[in-house]
A and B are shown apart, each in its own frame.
Chain A
Amino acid sequence: MTVTESQKAAYIAGQAADARVRVEIEAEGMTLNLGPQHPATHGTLRIIVRLDGEQVVWADPVPGYMHRGYEKLCEVRDYAQVTTLINRIDWLGSFANEVPFILAAEELMGIEAPPRAQYIRTILFELARIANVCLFLGDMGVQLGAITPVFYAFRDREFVLNLIESATGGRFHPNFDRIGGIKDDLPKGWIDECRVALGRVRGFCDQMEDLLVGNVIFQQRTRGIGVIPRDIALEYGVSGANARASGIDWDLRRDQPSPLAWKHADWKVFTHPDGDSFARYWVRLQEVREATRIVEQLMDGLPAGPIRAKVPARIRVPAGEAWVHTENPLGEMGYYVVSDGSPGGPFRCKIRTPSFSNISIVPWLLRGVFVPDVITILASLYFILGDIDR
């Protein structure tokens, strides 16, 4: 086996110790610094790429520009205060962040919320997914140069955000989930409004199908670009739609016994065998459609009753450890909550965020692609900076 010059350069550069003070080796090619302020990195992710012409020799993501130390902050807050914090992890689907944490606390306390609360939780969870993934569907267009889709995404997401706001009071950061239930019931007329908004979301999905998926330029830019094989996806812990696009038939909403109400709805998990950027886009598009179906069915079957279980006024979580994970808009999100039984907050709260693992595959995935494909791949992996950096 012969070693090419660019492989040698990659090896030498790989040996240079710290990415932050990476010595620029004057071999052939050049080092291009994408970010932390760059239009393609939605947030402040920095990626250092070594180029040979327009081809990437190696890529090194440097996260941390938005690290807020949530795991430390959780340790000095009590359980009610933590929910308002973790809202801000994946800020586009923030209600979905609260749910697994509250479920973990409930599991430690041995409490289960009443069915109506579980239904409303699930409905809001799916609305958060719609709000989040809709933006991806539009943003992918922007990253590929089509400016129009993202405006449709913002337009139709607004209706979903309005719904979340009228139910929870918070557009982006609902802080609505409580141990033992939810804060409030739905206001009158909410369900009818929701049906209208879901119709708009479905219309948006059709528009995206026409504008992007059917466009041969879009297909050429995405098909076969950034292929993640199944076993590599597993090793890197890639989850969510990214894993399903690699043919991994795994969806925690279906595969995990959960008190939430997904089991009461009839829906489908979409997978795609290709594992490329197109597959990731397609899977997410179908997931938004499925999410609208789930919400509609759950609204039809919404049971009457209380929304809060009996919970002591001063919450004291018994000592123990719990791991609860859910299928969040970006992938598998889990909280490993360790309680020492003191009246304050968790002793340790490990937050497993999907984007962290989904982006850790980037150095592997970007090797040998072209600069425009770097953008395609990053866009199709779909990360939220707050979700990587926590």
Chain B
Amino acid sequence: MPELPRAVEDALAIPKGFAKGLGVTLKNLFTPAETVQYPREKEAITPRARGVITLKEDNCTVCMLCARQCPDWCIYIEGHKDKEPPRREGGKPRTVAKLDRFDIDFSLCMYCGICVEVCPFDALHWSPEFEYSEPSIADLLHDKLRLGQWEATVPEAPALEAGAEAPKGKKK
């Protein structure tokens, strides 16, 4: 290619720039769109996604750790003590804490996951389910029944990338 004078080159750069831009949009016109038609098609959600907090009621000991660590104060817990038959024959009857109320107010929740992390008895988990919007904000207060129903949707924790330390086998 013979060297063009600078001025000519500069002048040519203008239509060239326009043509390049037009080329980008034209190319995109003929490439398939990325849109996912949401209610009919759904993207696969990663198992770690923080969609909704689930409660495994049997594991909860009403220790209040989650409610105390919650930055938004959106967990409400009440419980009572009860006697259970002894685990072994002839033992003393055990005193256990029974859960009366476990509410999470998802209208306040920041989805930080601190409650799930601090739970010492593995009673709280994350589920990637996210379709629980409500027309009324008051309905976003999920009681322990509702939280317990989500429990079935909790996925397996994913395998880890090469080089990671073996997981300590906590999560469900």
Contacts and interface: CB of A to CB of B under 8 A. Distances in A.
Contact of B161 (A148, A183, A191): A191
B114 A166 contact: no
Contact of B117 (A165, A183, A185, A211): A183
Nearest to A116: B163
A173 B165 contact: no
Contact of A175 (B28, B112, B165): B112
Contact of A169 (B23, B25, B48, B114): B48
Interface in A142-199: 148, 152, 155, 158, 162, 165-171, 173, 175, 183-191
A184 B25 contact: no
Contacts of A84: 71, 110, 112, 114
Contacts of A170: 50, 111, 113
Contact of A215 (B18, B69, B112, B164): B18
A208 to B, nearest CB: 9
By size class, the interface of chain A is 35 or more
A302 interface: yes
Nearest to B160: A185
B34 interface: yes
Contacts of A165: 46, 48-49
7 contacts: A84-B110, A158-B34, A186-B160, A187-B158, A215-B17, A303-B163, A307-B164
Contacts of A77: 71
**Centre residue among A167, A170, A189 by max chain B CB count within 10 A:** A170
Nearest to A88: B110
A83 B164 CA distance: 24
B21 interface: yes
Interface in A103-155: 116, 148, 152, 155
A224 interface: no
A307 to B, nearest CB: 7
A306 interface: yes
B49 A169 contact: yes
B159 A175 contact: no
B113 A175 contact: yes
A304 B21 contact: no
B11 to A, nearest CB: 10
Contacts of A171: 49
**Centre residue among A173, A175, A212 by max chain B CB count within 10 A:** A175
A77 B68 CA distance: 11
A210 interface: yes
Contacts of B162: 188, 304
A342 to B, nearest CB: 16
Given A166-B48, A186-B160, A188-B161, A173 B21 contact: no
